[in-house]
Amino acid sequence: MIWESVLLAVHVLVAAALIGFILLQHGKGADMGAAFGSGASGSLFGAAGSANFLSRTTAILATIFFLSSLALTYFASTRGPSKDLMQQGVMQKLPETPSKSAEVPKTESAPAQPTPAPAQDAGSKAGEIPK
């Protein structure tokens, strides 16, 4: 659907803008420096105006992000059931095992006899290895 693609693009752009606006905001400790004449008080938005602008914009972007998340969830849930891995559990993907009656009966045989070691040269140390 075209609306789902548009909504996904808006969602990603709002998420990036929200990250940017959060990183632009000052922490609580930055106001103390501005009160004592620090150079940070002459910022881009003024001494007191930045808090209102940035906090309001962040709140609006967070609301848009929340609503777009809900809308994307709705689109994903109303899509018809598909046969992909996410729709089926792991246990449903296992191959069927044959029943016990279909197994080949095991024949009992004599245990295998160890093969004799090859003849060793008289001067070789290979025959001295304990077994």
Tens of pLDDT, residues 72-87: 999 888 876 655 545 5
Q: pTM of this prediction?
A: 0.50
Quote the pLDDT of residue 64.
97
Residue (of 66, 52, 67, 46) closest to 21 by Cα position:
52
Q: List, in order, residues 6 or more apart from 127 with CB less than 8 Å away.
A: 120
Q: Output 58 or 126, whichever has higher pLDDT.
A: 58
CA atoms within 13 A on the CB side of 38: 12
Q: What is the mean pLDDT of residues 8-29?
A: 91
User: Per-residue pLDDT tens for 47-67?
Assistant: 555 568 889 999 999 999 999
